[in-house]
């Protein structure tokens, strides 16, 4: 009899915005053919998409992330754009302007913790953003360009980042469901230890 396969969990690490930021972001979308807009309750800034991991590894990941040490910081909400910048657009996003050095410090420490757990991470550059919507093949380039032009000076409120979150993402017929597994308060209180 074949061994039963271990269940896997699809994980990512992110910052959740406060309600005031969700409200500002939710005012940006408009009716555009071929664009599926992100529901406001799902807005988040991904620090690291982990992907599928065996259930037996989730505890180590949770423990390692608990050792990240970065103090709280203020993050701006500024700029809009698309991924990729050339070719057929797949994502419309709102950015964080020039950000804050501690955002990049947080990303690096999260990566260090996950690497110490033996995870294989995609090392592409980090461009912090909130996904506003995803574009399918029906999206018209001219309409998307007009949407971005009309919002090119976009700026929202500064917001304080006080925690980051480990999420599980389930892909359902109705869309993705993101469930927080653990919240990690930001603090600077001593040397970090990893796995």
Which is higher by pLDDT, 44 or 177? 44
pLDDT in tens, 89-144: 999 999 999 889 999 999 999 999 999 999 999 878 899 999 999 999 999 999 99
For residue 184 the two structure tokens come to 């990690």
pLDDT of residue 194: 47
- % of residues, the chain, pLDDT over 90: 84
Structure confidence at residue 189 (pLDDT): 65
Q: Cα(first)–Cα(last) distance of the chain, in Å?
A: 35
Q: Which fold has domain 8-185?
A: Cyclic Phosphodiesterase; Chain: A, (3.90.1140)
Q: Which of 8, 36, 41, 129 is labelled catalytic?
A: 129
Dmax of the chain from CA atoms?
62
**pLDDT tier, 1 (very low <50, low <70, confident <90, very high otherwise):** low
Write down the catalytic residue from 9, 36, 44, 178: 44
CB neighbourhood size of 51 (10 A) = 15
Per domain, the residue ranges of the chain are: 8-185
129 labelled catalytic: yes
Separation CA 103–CA 110 (nearest Å): 11
């Amino acid at each position: 009899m074949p061994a039963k396969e271990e269940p896997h969990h699809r994980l990512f690490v992110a910052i959740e915005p406060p309600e005031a930021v969700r409200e500002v972001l939710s005012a940006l979308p408009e009716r555009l053919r071929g664009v599926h807009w992100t529901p406001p309750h799902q807005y988040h800034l991904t620090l690291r998409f982990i992907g599928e991991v065996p259930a037996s590894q989730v505890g180590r990941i949770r423990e390692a992330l608990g050792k990240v040490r970065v103090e709280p910081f203020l993050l701006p909400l500024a700029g809009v754009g698309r991924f990729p910048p050339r070719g057929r657009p797949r994502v419309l996003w709102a950015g964080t302007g020039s950000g804050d050095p501690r955002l990049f410090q947080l990303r690096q420490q999260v990566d260090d913790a996950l690497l110490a757990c033996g995870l294989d991470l995609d090392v592409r550059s980090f461009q912090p953003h909130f996904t506003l919507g995803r574009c399918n093949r029906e999206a018209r380039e001219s309409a998307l360009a007009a949407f971005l032009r009309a919002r090119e000076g976009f700026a929202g409120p500064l917001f304080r980042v006080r925690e980051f979150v480990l999420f599980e993402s389930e892909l359902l017929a109705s869309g993705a469901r993101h469930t927080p597994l653990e919240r990690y308060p930001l603090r600077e209180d001593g040397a970090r230890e990893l796995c």
